[in-house]
Amino acid sequence: MMLSRLSRLDPSKILITHQHGDHVLGLFGLLLSMAMHDRKSPLHIVAPNSVKDLLECVMKKTEAKIPYDIIFTKVSEGTVIKGRDYKIRAKKAEHHGEAYCYRLDENMRPGVFYPEKARALGIPEGPLWHRLQVGKKIKHNGKVVLPSEVTGPKRRGRSFGYSGDTRVTAKLVNFFKGVDLLVFDSTYTEQFKKEAMLYGHSTASQAAKLAMKAGVKKLILTHVSARVSDEEHLLNEAKEFHQNVYVAKDFDSFDITYPE
């Protein structure tokens, strides 16, 4: 986060998939860094209960002083966070121990606004148009005008999925159905398929098959094992099943465009 110049104070919510070291050990330094930068606003952590136990143990043993509130939510399947214009859901992963995948979906957006329809109803351009554009009804000349009278059908928002460590399962195909961007466990190539099954991970081919079945728009392969020396081979295996796929690299940035 420091090298990428992302603010260590900005995150208001942290979601953790499971308690394995490569997924939690960075948390304590981040929390202390927030404290050193005089954070005051609450921090919301969503994770398995074992992470809460570990967090409390480390903070006690290190005598850490945290000047802001930490709100902990034990993760379970279903909606774990509901924001003003989005929600985040969790689904159990198939990995060693208690593990989860996450999916973020923005709320439905208002339909396309048609100025000619507003003019035909005698509504003057300005604040009333804006209210209708954002999906709010108005009252004009003693008559209530609904957004649906001057806009098209509602449009869906953007979506993002993150697998954490997991084997591919049928329920995850359904969970990630139609997401715009999916970051998925691709620890191994097919050469290490047995290891993937043994240790609760996926191969690039398996991840790509899931993305294909789920209708995922863009797939990012991550958590690549050091045993995979040729990332191009990993990518080529995935592209047999899904063309819009990339191997994640530190500091990569991907825009998620609106569906329409």
Is 22 a catalytic site residue? yes
Q: According to DSSP H, which parts of the chain are helical?
A: 21-36, 49-61, 115-120, 127-133, 170-175, 193-199, 204-214, 231-239
Helix axis angle, 49-61 to 21-36, nearest 10°: 50
> For residue 79, which phi and psi values (nearest 5 degrees)?
-75, 125
SS3 of 120, please?
A: helix
Among candidate residues 22, 85, 230, 250, the one labeled active-site is 22
Q: What angle do CA 190, 191, 195 make, to 5 degrees?
A: 85
* Token pair of 88 as six digits: 């985040």
Q: Are strands 70-74 and 100-106 parallel, antiparallel or unpaired?
A: unpaired
Residues in the chain, how many? 260
Q: Cα–Cα distance between 83 and 77 in angstroms, integer?
A: 17
Distance, CA of 99 to CA of 48 (rounded, Å): 7
| Residues acting as catalytic residues | 22
